[in-house]
Chain A
């Protein structure tokens, strides 16, 4: 498999081993994966299948035990801490299951936290308008519902116009209706901004909104499927 000019990530033989007490846990056992520019990829798998480990490595939060993780020309497995920080700052947006907003900052300020760092961000207000929160900019996280908090987190992630958006169970803590609103915000960002997006989930329904679905099992890729047609989140239900 040869990478095209549109390849953003190129993973080869990635393994990750943890030592827990005296036992070794093999979280990833040789993963090869290419990520194309602008695609929406869903990583599907049971818990413990290695999804989060894979995304953490792609986001520069963790290092592989062996193998190569190439982001364009940057070899992440060999990057130092400063390079990884710069990589996260300039190129990656994160969305977590538990939002991870800073409680002491308003919605707008949470987004500004990122726009102040990024080289070419969109206005923070615009990012919030994109996720449908234009009227909630001055609210603190505690004054927002779970879905709204997650949308602030998405606004915060896309405001810097990252090339990659990494989402770890973004709907995991939300009910289905709220979850769909959040997924719509992600799909829109992917469509309108062309952000390469990776969504981790254990919910197979969500896979239908992806360009490609990667199934992980026991630290290995069990299969990669391309959807003929992406289903808009509003037509999903679980």
Chain B
């Protein structure tokens, strides 16, 4: 067996280019698993550590105003381990350094051991002076703010020049969203923590609170505590307590993690599967070419098992190199990705951890592909009697039906006939090669999917459905005549009111907290579109509900929904679902403004308005409105677009970029291996052509044209496959946050086409170089 060991080393050395290409494929397949598995595990660990260490609360409740004594009473509710009463209020940041007025959520400083404690990145806690705040790190980083800097605020109509004394984050506000906005925007919005007593004084809540956070005792029913809280707090204008599952930031993180998990599961598995396919294919062919040596070994008396295990060892040696490289590459890539994500989520600590399950799956699948490919190749060789195996293979049989019709024969030259027959002779083999290349091409097309889908969603949401320039949101509902006041602003061209109410929608046992939005059916700045971009009008009666929400609640058109208002009067009414909206972003419910007023028993209250303003006056209108006492926030439509890109762009596109790199390398490896295989299989024929007097160009044409035909066959299939993968990912990534449209831009198709053709050209160049160096007489002497 020592001799076989030497043979093994010799084999590895003499075919090192192809074995390295195979090891690269193994490494890429495994690295994807290791990196994404590690990324998920590490991220979840970082979040859990943050939540635990900073005592992220379990239940949250808001009231209008409750005396401090109420908090002491509530603390007696059984199941509450600890409780923190606090003040939470909105402020405007008219600071000149910001491009437009920002918004702040002011919250009582929880103290070092309180619930939702803040981890300070720099500075110190605010003292009991009314002008000290701690701001969120993302906001501070966006504007280059540091402890000691001043920050202008307007809180309840009062101008405050605050001093930033610290910069930090709390588990409660990993995500924080400004009023009237759908998504976080760290440049225009921050949480600002202030000493509790000072904030209460500013907010007119001295000796009182308007917000509660609760930590449950272990083993407590969250539902029971929530119900008890609602009962106790009802008289103080409570809007309904809720658990972490409905806490905005946690829900957002949870959603992001789910998307990431789906994305980071499907894509690496597609890579791993493709890699396994390629490994099987290449190794089978590689080993099959050893038939003569296998025949000789058998003639010497080596048994099938010995021969099988020899080649298996060879395969596993290549696997070992690939696996070691793959794990190392995966850890490096995973650490890099996790670092980016931890920065993105601003979790204070993070350790990269290996996901043993996924790593094992990666190793197993790649190992199995190596073993099956190797053994399939060996099996075909050992099934022959040694004498036959040692003879050069009989000419592969071309059947009569491959004789071309006379018409074609006259039109098609000999080289083309050779290519066509060669492709047609092994339809399975040709199909496998084409499939390999198509997968490569599909992976590249597919890796452009996220950014294409997000681009489209952004356009859909913020250009086609929203046509306003500015949207103003009030602190509390105001009478409808506010519309006329807004219209009098210099530069304002049109104003259209809307009403938005926090509601819980209930059907049977399912319920969901969302915003019920209402506007006039004649509105022109806000329209709803379905996926075919057709206008969807607000129904005469009843609700229009996002299809995703309908699915979550288990309702269909005609079913009745109970609407529980989560504001002041806490009205409750039952309305039919009049239509479903197949939309992309969020899960909303929509109704005509007059219908909502009637249901709420209101005259003409509005929550805000959309404004069209002359371009040169927009900034002034925005600043002016922002400082109006009852205004909670003014958002610019373009800023929404930016925030959308910022949020989804950063989180998904980091991974998408890494996947593009992986897809690109895998594509190259696939094409390169295919080219090598074609070259190897035709080596002897090519040598014959050269001997017969064909020039390099003429012989090369036969080789390269075959590769070109395979590539061109693979191209349309690959592009279709890319679309299919996108559709699969889109359906798997459906969430309440968004549904990805199955969109691939021409850019993505072009990129995939270029990647495939580029890889093919490089591989062809390599093959042509090999052909030029082909030692004709050795290729002829080699019995194939």
Could you tell me which A residues sit within 8 Å of B by CB distance? Answer: 56, 59, 61-62, 81-82, 85-86, 88-90, 92, 94, 96, 98, 100-106, 109, 112-114, 116-118, 138, 140-143, 149, 156
Contacts and interface: CB of A to CB of B under 8 A. Distances in A.
Given A56-B777, A142-B396, 10 more contacts: A88-B693, A89-B694, A90-B693, A100-B688, A102-B688, A102-B689, A103-B398, A104-B418, A140-B402, A141-B398
B628 interface: no
B414 interface: yes
Mostly helix, strand, loop or mixed at chain B's interface? helix
Given A104-B421, A104-B425, A105-B421, A117 B776 contact: no
Contacts of B1: none
Contacts of B399: 140
Contacts of B688: 100-102
Contact of A104 (B413, B417, B690, B776): B417
A100 B684 contact: yes
B397 A113 contact: no
4 closest pairs, A vs B, by CB? A89-B693, A142-B397, A141-B395, A103-B395
Which of B397, B688, B690 has the most chain A CB atoms closer than 10 A to its own CB?
Answer: B688
Interface string B411-432: 0011001100110010000000
Interface string B362-388: 000000000000000000000000000
B710 to A, nearest CB: 15
B783 A98 contact: yes
A106 B692 CA distance: 16
Nearest to A88: B693
A106 B394 CA distance: 15
A161 to B, nearest CB: 13
Contacts of B691: 59, 61, 88, 94, 100
B731 interface: no
Interface of B: 392, 394-399, 402-403, 413-414, 417-418, 421-422, 425, 684-685, 688-696, 776-777, 780, 783
A174 B422 CA distance: 27
Contacts, number: 83
Contact of B392 (A82, A98, A109): A98
Contacts of A149: 395
A116 B417 CA distance: 14
Contacts of A82: 695
A225 B694 CA distance: 36
Given A61-B777, A113-B414, A94 B692 contact: yes
B6 to A, nearest CB: 14
A96 B417 CA distance: 24
Contacts of A156: 692
B42 to A, nearest CB: 52
Contact of B693 (A81, A112, A114, A141): A114
B695 A88 contact: no
B773 to A, nearest CB: 11
Nearest to A93: B692
Contacts of B422: 104
Contact of A105 (B392, B414, B780): B414
A113 B688 CA distance: 11
B403 A138 contact: yes
A82 B684 CA distance: 20
A117 B684 CA distance: 19
A112 B392 contact: no
B693 A102 contact: no
A89 B417 contact: no
7 contacts: A59-B691, A85-B690, A96-B780, A101-B688, A103-B685, A116-B413, A142-B397
B308 to A, nearest CB: 29
Contacts of A94: 691-692
Nearest to A156: B692
Contacts of A96: 780
Contacts of A86: 693
Given A88-B693, A113-B414, A62 B392 contact: no
A141 B688 CA distance: 15
A154 to B, nearest CB: 13
B143 to A, nearest CB: 69
Given A100-B684, A140-B397, A105 B417 contact: yes
Contacts of A105: 414, 417-418, 421
Contacts of B692: 88-89, 94, 113-114, 117, 156
A103 B392 contact: no
B777 A109 contact: no
